[in-house]
Chains A and B, each alone.
Chain A
Amino acid sequence: MRRILFLILVLFIISFLTFIIFLKLPATDPARLVAGRVSSPEILAEIRQNLGLDKPWYIQYGRFAKGLVPWPGFFLNEQVYFSYGNNVPVKGELYRRLPVTIALTLGAAVLWVIIGLPIGIVSAIRRRTLADRAGMLFALFGVSAPVFWLGYVLLFIFWFKLKWAPSPGLDVGESLGQAMFAGKFILPWLTLSLLFAAFYARMVRGNLIETMSEDYIRTARAKGLSERRVIFKHGLRAALTPVVTMFGMDIGYLLGGAIITETIFDLDGIGKYTIASIRDQDFPVVMAVTIFAALFIVAANLVVDVVYAFLDPRVRYT
């Protein structure tokens, strides 16, 4: 319970910082954004009054903060959280885009686990062999390849040249399921997962090598267990526990929007929404997506803590 209160506090701090940044560094007058082309000083003044922009900063923040209370009617309420650009409520836009981001994140997560874990395990067990070197070369490539470069390279090869992959972006009226079925997520999943797969391969390798030199591994061997059991039951059990933590955090992080991947592959998820809102200086939207992203990370933290306590008996009673 104390943890949850702490997390809520974190959310408010983040929102406050976001607010301060926008208040102190106004690149565009929000009122001008709302007014559009037809604007006279009178109209701008009226808009400012409507939006409460003429009020002191704490009142302004208070309006936004109220929208953070996780309660129906409060959370991202439409009186405050609507786009200055087109007056559309943010909440609906977010919820509409969320499935895209979820599909992208979870698909990539499955992929990077399937790729990263076995590479890490094989590299650790067959240390200094060809398999290890190949695995670590892959990891080095994955860690070094920038996502924006990789995405375009994949698109260039598989869509533009070979024409194996469908064109990026969802067609009008195309549902998420149809898009996935058409293979539109394959390249984005690959792009997004490569970096993580590389990180996971390295982490699993490092953890497993370290674990295998632990005393309890020697004990497991001394009692005559098969090497397979020593590695998979005793070694991996300890080596993967921190990986599970990492996994939860990464998913939480990506649910807040995989900005680059979504932009390259024209997937209208949270990430693209974020980028557009920042470009347009659309403050309520920026605030909402920031809070949304923070919420996922914070929630992932909470889940990870709970899961970790479940996985490691030593932390259970503390």
Chain B
Amino acid sequence: MAEPLLEVRDLNVHFPTEDGLVKAVDGVSLTLAQGETLGVVGESGSGKSVTFLTVMGLITKKEARIEGEVIFKGQNLLDLPAEEMRHIRGTGLSMVFQDPMTSLHPFYRVGDQIVEAIRAHQPIPKKEAFKQAVDMLKRVGIPRPEERARQYPHEFSGGMRQRAMIAMALSLNPDLLIADEPTTALDVTVQAQILDLIDRLREEFNASVVIITHDLGVVAEHCNNIQVMYAGKVAEYGDRSDIYHGAHHPYTWGLLQSITRVDQPKTERLRPIKGLPPSLIFVPPGCPFHPRCPYVMQVCRVEVPPLLSADGKHASACHLPLADKERIFQEEVEIRT
């Protein structure tokens, strides 16, 4: 197997606060191959966004205690000087955020904001950069891009703004696009369009993609691999069929059962996961999910389950024996999903 594009090894991101140390990311590892789409799934506060903000260098050692390694194209980004890291943002890594309504600067024209991104890394004249910006807007499916580039963000709809954000993120042809809940703030019909667009552009630009989301349903068709996170830790990792057709972690089961399905008869109510995600200051001892887990055992309260692989790839951090996991999934989860 070729060297992965991005490899995160045992990443810790802890924020010191007045109330105590917030362990937002606690021993997270992941790998991402060239051309792959990885879905990172978890509730709010599971550490999924913080992980990738750290990868982007947008959370720095000034604000948080960061340990571990972030290897991108053979370089450990955490050791890189700020100026070099700045250059990697935009050209190597780029990010699209959750809320397109607030992610563009309200006082600058959309086209100019893309021009700025281009010219931050390439010393080309403004006119040329503007042409490229218009071209990018066209490629993300914005009609009349010439005219739209001269408009302000408030003249764009939410979906159009997210397209513009994607155009900006891809304007320097980065190797990896990180989309942090790119569709959460959008209408359902627009959500599908944006995800399809990301899919198409990933091929066009030969980029890898990370889609961060709290909704397993959203990423079902778009991801090769899926990483489920809970309380700053990895709960489960596997490819699409591992997760959707044979998930091993009770938390993943909970997520699967919370997906609304429109293609099946409405026979049963949704089954939300009971309880709330834990505080990241006082993470429960043992498995962090144990207070909410319907299958909790004595060992779960004491011992942190390691992330163990069943077949060399599909891995989960749960004390349940493999046979039980498979049985419970088939009997209780799959029939409902």
Contact = CB atoms under 8 A, between A and B. Distances in A.
Interface of A: 214-216, 218-227, 229, 234, 237-238, 241, 311-314
B103 A312 contact: no
A234 B117 CA distance: 13
Nearest to A241: B107
B99 A238 contact: no
Contacts of B56: 222
Contacts of A215: 97, 99, 102-103
Contacts, number: 74
Contacts of A224: 86-91, 117, 120-121
Nearest to A225: B120
A310 to B, nearest CB: 11
Given A214-B102, A215-B99, A221 B107 contact: no
A234 to B, nearest CB: 6
B287 interface: no
Contacts of A237: 105, 107-108
Q: DSSP class of A's interface residues: helix, strand, loop or mixed? A: helix
B56 to A, nearest CB: 6
Given A218-B58, A314-B154, A226 B106 contact: no
A234 B87 contact: no
Contacts of A313: 106-107, 152, 154
B120 A219 contact: no
B173 to A, nearest CB: 13
A33 to B, nearest CB: 55
A223 B90 contact: yes
Interface of B: 56, 58, 82, 86-91, 94-95, 97, 99, 102-108, 116-117, 120-121, 152, 154, 165, 168-169
Given A216-B103, A222-B95, A223-B90, 8 more contacts: A216-B104, A218-B97, A219-B168, A222-B58, A223-B116, A224-B120, A241-B107, A313-B154
Contacts of A226: 86, 120
Contacts of B152: 313-314
A219 B94 contact: no
Contact of B106 (A220, A221, A225, A238): A238
Contact of B117 (A223, A241, A311, A314): A223
Contacts of B116: 223, 225
Contacts of B121: 224
Given A214-B102, A238-B107, A313-B154, A219 B90 contact: no
Nearest to A226: B86
A227 B57 CA distance: 12
Contacts of A216: 102-106
A229 B105 CA distance: 13
Contacts of B86: 224-227
B115 to A, nearest CB: 11
A178 B58 CA distance: 56
Contacts of B154: 313-314
Nearest to A233: B116
A317 to B, nearest CB: 9
Contacts of A222: 56, 58, 89-90, 94-95, 97, 169
Contacts of B91: 224
A221 B102 CA distance: 14
A238 B105 contact: yes
A311 B107 contact: yes
A223 B121 CA distance: 9
A223 B89 contact: yes
Most buried by A among B90, B91, B99: B90
Q: Which 4 A-B pairs have the closest CB atoms?
A: A224-B90, A224-B89, A223-B117, A215-B102
A223 B102 contact: no
Given A221-B89, A222-B95, A312 B168 contact: no
Nearest to B117: A223
Given A224-B121, A225-B116, A226-B120, A219 B106 contact: no
B168 to A, nearest CB: 6
Contacts of B58: 218, 221-222
B107 A223 contact: no
B258 to A, nearest CB: 27
